[in-house]
Structure 1
Amino acid sequence: MKKILLYLISIVILNACSDEIPEYHQSARAKRVVLAYLVANNNLDNYIMKNVQWMYQSLSTAQDTCTLVVYYKPYSSNKYLETAEILEFQTDGYGKINGQEILQGTSLTVENVIAQAKHHQARLGIATDPDIMKENLRMMQDIAPAESYGLIFGSHASGWLPSPTAVQSRSFGWDGIQSNTIDIPELATTLEQSFPTGNLEFTLFDACMMGTAEVFYELRNATHYCVASVMETPVAGFPYDRFFINLYDKYIDYAKICSETVQFNKENNWWGTYAAVDCTAMEEVAQAIQAEILSHQSELQTLDYTQVQQYGYGQYQYFAFDVVDLISQLNGGVVSANVQSSIDKAVIAKDCLDGKEYPLVTLRIDPERFCGMGMYFPDRNISYTWDRYYQSSIAWYNAAGWNEIQP
């Protein structure tokens, strides 16, 4: 009788357990982890805090385990963080983040998102210092080991331009009242050393003016893909709530990132150009551009660069010209097959707003002349400081053949 009773009890217990969701055990290495390196010790702090909330909002829709690790350097007036911290968010795929119920509705606030994060002490110091950046990126990878990583950079920026200069260019980052920055060659080296196995799948720059051939070429050995705007960008940044979860996909829909951001800007009556570029294809772009430049040296001397589509406004005017439009005008309105083919391979997605309807003050972008990346036109007396730095520090200068142009 006892054996029968025990048998019946066992069946009841097993049936009762069969409908329960099994506890999720995280694997030692995720397929992809997204990292965000946010230098908000400046007047963008409130906007970048909102970006973290948007990332969380999209992350909360995950049907599987996904991890976001954020380095955040706050401004002194930040209400939720007093110093630089590393924030960790991990979904379990069953409606919880960090073991707590997902925030939604009126509970989905910046304050609650930061409170729900797992907090880790970051390496203190200037966020744009290469050694500080490398140490924090190492710590972030230790927190969340993965087969591959995506990296979002958020702050002020001014592309390949040197820092500091007479025009207060920022390159990438603005940490504190001294506007501490990191130049793009330094950034490329830092990323190569931080991801020595070459597993940085993409880098997304939520920052101004990073969408140039100079930047993409510098990063060719650091990251596979790069998402950026060649223009100054609206302060609100990318609409992460619309696409962030897709950054964990094996094959990322970069066209969606560009189109969703353009649509977001359109809804707010802003401006914008966005592109995703395969940085590993930039050597071929450089070779194609070099061939055109060297075969049109006489045309270079007489080309009116003010008629080429350019992407800079105010003090940044003429820092970048559309690559294809410049070559086209050099070649009598025709783009060579080699240049077009190389651009088609490198620019895997792009979108922009028509500058006639959505200008950046006086800067108007013609969608028909937007190829996805810009580049500088050196030695035109645009800026002596820019020219000197370009020749001495930017690898694209030699790669594109500018160093071989005869005066």
Structure 2
Amino acid sequence: MKYTQYILILLLSIIFVSCRKEDNEPDITERTVFMYLPWSTNLTSYFYDNITDLEKAIAEKGLEQEKVIVFMSTSSSEAEMFEIVYNKGICKRNILKEYTNPQFTTETGLTDIISDMKSFAPAESYSMIIGCHGMGWLPVDYSSSRTKEIFKYHWEYTGRPMTRFFGGLSAEYQTDIATLAQSISNNDIKMEYIMFDDCYMSNIEVAYDLRYVTNHIIACPTEIMAYGMPYALIGKYLLDKNPDYQSICNEFYSFYSTYKYPYGTIGITDCRELDNMASIMKIINSILSFDSSKEELIQPMDGYSPVIFYDFADYVKNLCGENDDTYAAFTEILYKVVPYKAHTEKFYSASSINPIPISTYCGITTSEPSYNKKANNYTNTSWYKATH
């Protein structure tokens, strides 16, 4: 009898301890949206506005099966992670963790930050919003000769409207795309989408590097004004379990077509189609060579000289030349790769005196034909290796 009582007490103790452990663990929610804002020097005030605008969307929609976690660099050496909590029409920011010298440019450091997000808000699915400066696929430039170069990045121009490398204004605050991809993979996460609120990130080379860690990429093929994405308008779609990507494009266009600087471009990339795109491009590259004399015929998507980013479809059209069937096979896949897009009549670039007209637009860029010295490492990209 005593033995039976002992067993019963032991079982009750185990159940009690298990219940206490479960009570201390966060509930698994349906969706977690992670807003990631690493140190970007002159964009901090815009980030606060972006968060406030997202809270407006949350107040309109409410939060049911969603959580919103924000990592925000408040200075070059400090950051905080907080949850936006909604209750009775009011949004509050609950601090979850404070950071000193977060190593967000390294695989280990970024892996840990994403792990923190995952532990604070475990979910059935995740999405990520990244706000900072951007420079497409270009790797972080640690060169000591940088100061001797004549080349100026778009964020180095003064006296012009400001636009938004993946990170800050110097190499110590910039993160390579491969590091982002590996850090997400290390956490065993595949995002529903990664939205880059940065310049030049709707780029075939970037998307290919991220194809296994996200289903979709929302990004701009050109520069985006410092205001960034119109979160108050698109936030409700970003929070949905099944984001309405067409509406995101529509609201983006609606906002920027009437903004004081009426320049904006956006594209939605379905990363699940990128292996098919790489296959068709490998076939095209095996039978055709680009005529460099046609470079000036391609739609530029930046204001640099020489151009770094070109409209992807227009490049392939000039590559194919008279091979209409080949180009048709390409476009059939392209419509699946970029199913949604929008643009104003012109795009703005801080490195160009005047806004640049858009005559043809597919929503994603490539640097394949560029002879700008900043694209010298192009043959080292995963996209180039997969398509040649």
Within-5 A mapping of 1:309-388: 309-314=299-304, 317-332=306-321, 334=324, 336-355=327-346, 359-360=348-349, 361-366=353-358, 369-378=360-369, 381-383=371-373, 385-387=374-376
Structure 2 match to 1:274: 266
CA distance in 2, matches of 1:63, 1:42: 32
Within-5 A mapping of 1:106-145: 116-124=92-100, 125-145=102-122
- Normalising by structure 2, what TM-score? 0.81
Deviation (angstroms), 1:123: 4.1
- Normalising by structure 1, what TM-score? 0.77
Give deviations 1:256-313, integer Å, cap 9, x for gaps. Answer: 112211221221133121011111211111112222222222xx14442111012121
CA distance in 2, matches of 1:86, 1:324: 40
Give deviations 1:14-56, integer Å, cap 9, x for gaps. Answer: xxxxxxxxxxxx9822111111111144100000110000111
Structure 1 match to 2:32: 33
With 57-66 and 234-243 compared, the bigger mean Cα shift is at: 57-66
Give deviations 1:130-173, integer Å, cap 9, x for gaps. Answer: 22221111111111111001100001110111222644769311
Structure 2 match to 1:19: none
**2:81–2:98 contact (8 Å) kept in structure 1:** yes
Distance 1:319 1:204, change over 3 A: same
CA distance in 1, matches of 2:128, 2:152: 26
Q: Does 1:244 align with 2:221?
A: no
* Letter aligned with residue 186 of structure 1: T
Deviation (angstroms), 1:197: 4.5
CA distance in 1, matches of 2:379, 2:331: 26
CA distance in 2, matches of 1:41, 1:237: 13
* Letter aligned with residue 278 of structure 1: D
Structure 2 match to 1:4: none
Q: Counterpart of 1:336 in 2: which secondary structure?
A: helix
Structure 2 match to 1:293: 285
* Letter aligned with residue 173 of structure 1: G
**1:58–1:245 contact (8 Å) kept in structure 2:** yes
Within-5 A mapping of 1:16-55: 28-55=27-54
Give deviations 1:363-393, integer Å, cap 9, x for gaps. Answer: 52425x1111111125x6432x522x2223x
**1:130–1:182 contact (8 Å) kept in structure 2:** no
**1:217–1:396 contact (8 Å) kept in structure 2:** yes
Q: Does 1:398 align with 2:388?
A: no
CA distance in 1, matches of 2:116, 2:379: 35
Greater Rg over alpha carbons, structure: 1
Distance 1:359 1:205, change over 3 A: closer
**1:71–1:122 contact (8 Å) kept in structure 2:** no
Structure 2 match to 1:156: 133
CA distance in 2, matches of 1:142, 1:211: 30
CA root-mean-square deviation: 2.4
Which of 63, 70, 85 is the aligned partner of 2:80?
85
CA distance in 1, matches of 2:379, 2:368: 12
Distance 1:202 1:61, change over 3 A: same
Distance 1:314 1:336, change over 3 A: closer
Deviation (angstroms), 1:351: 0.3
Distance 1:179 1:311, change over 3 A: farther
Deviation (angstroms), 1:359: 4.6
CA distance in 2, matches of 1:332, 1:36: 43
Q: Counterpart of 1:84 in 2: which secondary structure?
A: strand
Q: Counterpart of 1:182 in 2: which secondary structure?
A: coil
Q: Does 1:283 align with 2:278?
A: no
Which of 167, 172, 181 is the aligned partner of 2:166?
172
CA distance in 2, matches of 1:149, 1:306: 41
Which of 178, 194, 200 is the aligned partner of 1:185?
178
Distance 1:332 1:261, change over 3 A: same
Deviation (angstroms), 1:250: 2.8
Distance 1:233 1:64, change over 3 A: closer
**Structure 1 residue runs without a partner (length 5+):** 1-25, 77-81, 104-112, 402-407
Q: Does 1:57 align with 2:33?
A: no
Deviation (angstroms), 1:227: 0.4
CA distance in 1, matches of 2:285, 2:171: 39
Q: Counterpart of 2:136 in 1: which secondary structure?
A: coil
Distance 1:341 1:122, change over 3 A: farther
Distance 1:64 1:377, change over 3 A: closer
Give deviations 1:289-346, integer Å, cap 9, x for gaps. Answer: 222222222xx1444211101212136x521211111111222364622211111111
